[in-house]
Amino acid sequence: MILVVDVGNTNITFGLYRGKELTGTFRLMTGTPRTSDEYGMMMLDLIDHYQVGRADLDGVIISSVVPNVMHSLTGAIERFLERKPMIVGPGLKTGIHIVTENPKEIGPDRIVDAVGAFEKYGGPVLVMDFGTATTYDLVNEKGEFVAGITAPGIKISAKALWEDTAKLPEVEIRKPASILAQNTVTSMQAGLVYGQIGQTEYIVRKVKEEAGLEKMHVVATGGLGSIIADETDVIEVYDRTLTLDGLRMIYEKNTAHA
């Protein structure tokens, strides 16, 4: 079994794999400061919930966009799980060749998504991740990461509305019954959700146009991706476990001959 760990700006997501089968997932909030002891005890409790012991783990792989979490987290894995984690970054085999102007600028989370999408669906593929930020990354038929677009995520936009205006309340992010909103809450929901749908459809269309790729796979993932995927036909598939699957694939590529 392996443990994959995706450290995002909002959540740390853990996945347990037995071979290619995802047997369990759990999440912790990223923004809560924790010691390595706290991470360690939580991880032991959580894997025990799935009847997995330390001896069952062959390895651990981490993708992180939050550097200040890594010292405590990696220390916890080494001490409590007795495994040295593989960390997504330079030197690891991914199968994806980054051909943008500055490959070092591409975050590990985007590389992991690109690996998962290319391996599962083939290229060319546009993979979008509806997380804290909304990202759109294009991988061509040769497995080259050729372009990436970054936009504010739905939650960031929502937070800006209710924190930077005096009278707008915090609302649940969901699609209202109609875009013809008649109260403050549904007005905000309509702007947030339909605005994201419109952005998605326009960006997909422009990527196809400028890349000359009318036929390409369009794959979405991320916490709020299902809301958008259900409301537009430009998204071919919503893949909830894409990032975790990508981490597993990278681990396998780097341990195949170990």
Pick the closest to residue 3 from 72, 73, 65 (CA basis): 73
* Whether 107 and 209 share a structural domain: yes
Whether 252 is in a domain gets the answer no
Per-residue pLDDT at 169: 86
Nearest to 40 by CA among 29, 54, 50, 30: 54
CA distance 107 to 42: 27
Query: Residues 235, 174: one domain?
Result: yes
97-98 β-sheet, strand order: 97-98, 144-152, 133-139, 125-130, 217-221, 237-238
pLDDT for the residue 224: 87
- Is residue 230 annotated as part of the catalytic site, yes or no? no
Q: Are residues 206 and 229 in the same domain?
A: yes
- The residue count for the chain: 258
Residue in 6, 109, 113, 137 annotated catalytic: 109
Residue 117: its pLDDT value, please? 98
Residue range 21-69, pLDDT digits in tens: 999 999 999 989 999 999 999 999 989 999 998 899 999 999 999 999 9
Q: Which residues of the chain have pLDDT under 50?
A: none
Backbone phi, then psi, for 95, in 5-degree steps? 85, -5
Note the pTM of the prediction, 2 decimals.
Answer: 0.93
Q: What is the pLDDT of residues 119-132, one digit of tens each?
A: 999 999 999 999 88
Domain identity same for 56 and 179: no
